[in-house]
Amino acid sequence: MIVPCIDLMDGKVVQLVQGRDKALEGGTPAEMLARFAGFPEIQVIDLDAAIGSGSNTELVEFLAKRAVTRVGGGVRSAAKARALVDLGVKKVIVGTAAFGAAGVNKPFLEELGRAVDSSQILIALDSKGGKIVVKGWREATNFTAEEVIQELEPYCGGFLCTYVDKEGMMQGTDLGWFGRLRAATSHEITAAGGITTIEDIAALDALNIDAAVGMAIYTGLLNLDELAKL
């Protein structure tokens, strides 16, 4: 499955390079919904909430009520996850709160599981320099995705795995990393970060991994009509 991305910052649809530098702005949320109408699911990330500088709650609600969405960014309480599901969000993406200084934050994930069915949870495994990064990719942990992925399986229905080193750079992704993650879990995996060509998407599909695509769509490098047919 191909999942187009809508990233929100300061009330606008944007695309960033490695989660920091804004490369471009897209259309309005309504315009992006129309462009992505041919896809079964859309990924929505509230970047302001992810880095703790604000939120785009009204836009998230607007999108969640009009499309099948997976939503993340700043989901750091079970109550917020529950609220998103109640809005109609299909899957909630949890990143920072799933981890503590020493590894997996089991108390939080157990609380989350009491509020939302685990099948509706995607845990974000965002890797930069080989280590999981949190808080909008601003802080690095001391552990890798490969080290914790199996420990996280009981708490989620799948994983959103972003290769941050290539995010937004249009240089392809690290298929070897995704292959190692695929070998480590039978859970659903969605890949993100540097996915640039149809060949990238086909290689991920051969691994039974979905592709979340952003920059390559917004710049026109990947054709939406062609992607929708896939």
Pair of tokens at residue 51: 């880095």
Q: What is the pLDDT of residue 171?
A: 78
Strands (E), 81-187: 91-94, 99-100, 103-104, 121-128, 131-134, 139-140, 158-163
Give the separation between CA 111 and CA 60, rounded to whole angstroms: 23
Longest dimension (CA), the chain: 45
| CA dihedral (174, 177, 179, 181) positive or negative | negative
Cα three-residue angle 29-86-25, rounded to 5 degrees: 15
Catalytic residues: 7, 126
Proportion of the chain above pLDDT 70, given as a percent: 98
Domains detected in the chain: 2-229 (3.20.20.70)
Q: What is the pLDDT of residue 21?
A: 66
Q: What's the predicted TM-score (pTM) here?
A: 0.94
Residue 45 contacts residue 73 (beta carbons within 8 Å): yes
User: 164-214: per-residue pLDDT in tens?
Assistant: 988 876 778 999 999 999 999 999 999 999 999 999 999 999 999 999 999
Pair of tokens at residue 98: 């799933």
198: burial class by Cβ within 10 Å (0-12, 13-18, 19+)?
middle
Q: What is the pLDDT of residue 169?
A: 67
